[in-house]
Chains A and B, each alone.
Chain A
Amino acid sequence: MNRNELYGLLVEYAEGTLDASRRVEVEEILYTRPELQEDLDAIRSAFDNLQHEEEMNVPALYFSNFLPAVRSRIENGSRLRVQFIPSWLQPIIVPAVILIVLLSFAGLYESLKPEHRQSPVYSIVNEIEPSKIDEVTDYLAGFDLSIPGRITHSELLAENFDRTLFADDIIASNTLYENVMYDNQILSQLEENDIEYILEQLKSVQ
């Protein structure tokens, strides 16, 4: 007899539902394993107490009102799946909803990406004619056009970039290269107020 069977027998012994031969079998086990007597006493005590447990109360008419209450909750929120979506469509609906949710999150992420969160100043600067940015940044930042390594906004345009970068007079040494500054960097060092001022200036020149 394995342990689980023994447990089952002990419970039935305490309940008094065993036939005579099995009762004798349990009593023999109890005789050889007296430590089980304590478990048996606890089980008997539990059953004795459970017999005297009070009945639980249920409010009057509870069961009579139960079905209407369930129907009401179903009518208010749960009909959609069965009534309006054909069963063949349901396996398609769930993945579709998941896809829409994921795409919505992707769209949300896109709209929150740093470049999109730049102030209106950023987008306007990008739309302005590059040479004018150079002029105004020079004007406001007091930046000298002749400084070695400076790459202006105009030079950053793709058609000029390679030539500028590899020109001997610009990248003459590592030291000079460290001095390379882009106009975008200049803009990034300016305060927001300064940039707005630049924009006003640009608008007035355009």
Chain B
Amino acid sequence: MNQHDELQLIREFNEGNERAFNQLVLQYKEKIYWLVRRMIPDHDDANDVTQNVFIKAYQSLESFKGDSSFYTWLYRIAVNLSLNEIRRKKIRRTFSIDDQETGQLQSQEEQPHEQLERAERTRLIRQAIDQLPEKQKKVFVLRYYEELPYEEIAKILKTSVGGLKANYFHAVKKIGKYIKHESK
């Protein structure tokens, strides 16, 4: 589906064709889910946020002017809602003593050594990403996992390419240092 098709679907939706919106959901559900999931590792939370992204899009599509591409607009909603959820979870986590990460690790104790090592490495990576400042986290996810060019990320986050390069550099460096420190 190209940009022209998307604009056509948006027009149809705004004229009352509900099915046009379904087409947009089908087109982007996986991309948005993975973008959100990279920022919010828990599936249930990521699912809630992903659904909210499309509901927000449904409610706001009338105001979509086409200044940016639809997917840039949708990614922007996804990043913002994910960050809101992260902030909300951080507040909740402050008052909570349960540790999901430990639970995940324990559940894999019975697995072979290599798998356990991989699970541990994954746990550290996710912890490291989780501890990044918000700006660096969203740049890292969009660049590393979504493999978007800096120019595209700049449109989504409404920022400069130079600043993004610096954010990505610091994010990756911090992840490397965190893992090294925690592995000792």
Contacts and interface: CB of A to CB of B under 8 A. Distances in A.
Nearest to A44: B176
B55 interface: yes
Interface residues of A, number: 39
Contacts of A78: 55, 58-59
Contacts of B37: 56
Given A53-B125, A69-B51, A59 B59 contact: no
B180 interface: yes
Interface in B120-160: 121-122, 124-125, 128, 144, 150
A58 B44 CA distance: 10
Given A63-B29, A66-B25, A82-B62, A4 B166 contact: yes
A45 B51 contact: no
B179 interface: yes
B7 interface: no
B55 to A, nearest CB: 6
B173 A42 contact: yes
Interface string B78-105: 0000000000000000000000000000
A50 to B, nearest CB: 6
Interface in A1-28: 2-5, 7-8, 10-11, 14
B176 A49 contact: yes
Contacts of B119: 54
Given A49-B121, A53-B122, A42 B62 contact: no
A66 B48 CA distance: 11
Nearest to A72: B51
A47 B175 CA distance: 9
B30 to A, nearest CB: 6
B68 interface: no
Contact of A59 (B43, B150, B175, B179): B43
16 contacts: A3-B166, A7-B168, A8-B150, A8-B162, A10-B169, A11-B172, A50-B175, A56-B43, A58-B33, A62-B43, A66-B50, A67-B26, A70-B51, A73-B55, A74-B58, A82-B58
Interface of A: 2-5, 7-8, 10-11, 14, 39, 41-47, 49-50, 52-54, 56-59, 62-63, 66-67, 69-71, 73-74, 78, 81-82, 87
Interface of B: 22, 25-26, 29-30, 33, 37, 41, 43, 47, 50-51, 54-55, 58-59, 62, 118-119, 121-122, 124-125, 128, 144, 150, 162-163, 165-166, 168-170, 172-177, 179-180
